[in-house]
Amino acid sequence: MKNLTGLTVHDHLANAAVPLRASASFGHGLAGALWDRDEAAISRYETPSHHTLSLYVSGGVSFRRRLGDGYMTSFGAGSLCLMPEGLTSEWEVSGPVQMLHLYVSKAAFQRAVVETTGADPAHVTLREVPYFQDPTLETVMRQIMLPLNWDEPAERVAVSHGAQTLLAYLVSRMTEHGPRALQARGGLPAAVLRRLQGFVEAHLDQPLSIGDLATCANLSPYHFARAFKRSTGESPHAYVLRRRIGKAKEALAAGRSLAETASLCGFSSQSHFTERFRAQTGVTPGQFWRSTRLPD
């Protein structure tokens, strides 16, 4: 787990001794945390230094947001909460809940406004929405963010892409006075694609992120992901994973050990390497290695 000290909402929960199950910085001003909570308490987030998107993964049925003299009650599991930077909020906590948080710095939000809408970020604000439901946001958080190992270097492209996708959606759908998001205009030029492919090949042993790839292409993460898919027909994460597995096959066929191959291809553990290799090829690395030793 990564230390996210300095993020207001994170620090409040940490100081209240709420159990933290996972946390990570996703780069470019984005971070996440998974909390398990089971108590009766009042949470007051005083002028937070960042935006927060929260999903109640499970529980939270009796939680309420104080609104003046009244309250707004959660929908339980599947409830989303949007808490803008600088806006104090107070919440009544009662019973168990698991919460997935995405933290967005002010700079990251402003950058995303420019990249996705072309608008002046000084005139675009994120709405406060105490409780709402959104199938797109929930699907990305449950099916992309939650299943991934945030500490696994080989997953950084996928998890950082997921975080950027959430941010782009918030900017295009959950802001005041912001124009609609721009559509991707085209794919990557052939020279840029070749440079990017060379960069990936040279760094397959590294924990690549979507930001690293976008920087190589001289694009924002938002525009890069769309342009890359237009050019290749696959997501950046799928491409990098396919190349990791391709390199792993070459290493195994050359007689490298499983542990050495896992490290060479950017996997932090042999078990994670085995899981991804089998999902991509239908066989384990050991089975593949033995098949290369069979006589003709």
Query: pLDDT tens digits, residue range 127-174?
Result: 999 999 999 999 999 999 999 999 898 999 999 999 999 999 999 999
For residue 63, tell me if it sits in a domain: yes
30 close to 101: Cβ distance less than 8 angstroms: no
Interval 23-41 mean pLDDT: 95
Residues 6+ positions from 217 with CB-CB distance below 8 Å: 188, 192, 195, 196, 224, 227, 228
Tell me the pLDDT band of 38, cut-offs 50, 70 and 90: very high
For residue 1, tell me if it sits in a domain: no
- Say yes or no: 102 and 133 in one domain: yes
Helix (H) or strand (E) holding 97: strand 89-105
For residue 164, tell me if it sits in a domain: yes
pLDDT, the chain, mean? 91
- Say yes or no: 210 and 254 in one domain: no
**What is the value of pTM for the model shown?**
0.74
CATH code for position 105: 2.60.120.10
- Say yes or no: 139 and 286 in one domain: no
For residue 296, tell me if it sits in a domain: no
For residue 255, tell me if it sits in a domain: yes
For residue 168, tell me if it sits in a domain: yes
CATH code for position 273: 1.10.10.60
- Say yes or no: 121 and 197 in one domain: no
For residue 95, tell me if it sits in a domain: yes
CA 260 to chain centre: 28
For residue 195, tell me if it sits in a domain: yes
Which domain does 163 fall in, by range?
Answer: 8-151+159-176
Nearest Cα neighbor of 285 from 266, 267, 263, 262 is 262
Residues 6+ positions from 105 with CB-CB distance below 8 Å: 29, 30, 49, 50, 51
Instruction: Give the C-alpha separation, 48 to 244, whole Å.
Output: 40
Q: Is the pLDDT of residue 54 over 90?
A: yes
What's the structural domain count of the chain?
Answer: 3
